[in-house]
Amino acid sequence: GAGVSQSPSNKVTEKGKDVELRCDPISGHTALYWYRQSLGQGLEFLIYFQGNSAPDKSGLPSDRFSAERTGGSVSTLTIQRTQQEDSAVYLCASSQNRDKFYGYTFGSGTRLTVV
């Protein structure tokens, strides 16, 4: 597609439920990143995928968070047993490769609200 697509754009869930957030990167982009942004805060790195290499999961805040990237394209971020502090905008970005940093394109994000 023309840009990075994320779905849903908004998600309200009850505390304790699991949620899945989806990211469709730009076609041909081998690198995919997940960030989250809490209200009024800067971006917090979560996880990075590059091609078929093992992902860098060092930013995931707890074992309730996991992510997959199937076929080197679409990625799903899963949050299990959601907590109120998980409420944030979750942003996905892709780039042709990690050295082409200025080709780093973000999606519009998924606003997650845990009630």
Q: Would you tell me which residues interact with another protein (CB under 8 A)? A: 4, 31, 33, 35, 40-43, 45, 47-48, 56, 58-59, 91, 93, 98-99, 101-102, 104-109
Whichever of 41 and 83 has its CB closer to another protein, that residue is: 41
Question: What is the closest distance, in whole angstroms, from the C-beta atom of residue 16 to another protein in the complex?
Answer: 28
Write the burial class of residue 70 (CB in 10 Å: 0-12 exposed, 13-18 middle, 19+ buried): exposed
CA–CA separation, 99 and 76 (whole Å) = 24
Return d(Cα 103, Cα 39) in angstroms, integer: 26
Residue 36 or 79 with smaller CB distance to another protein: 36
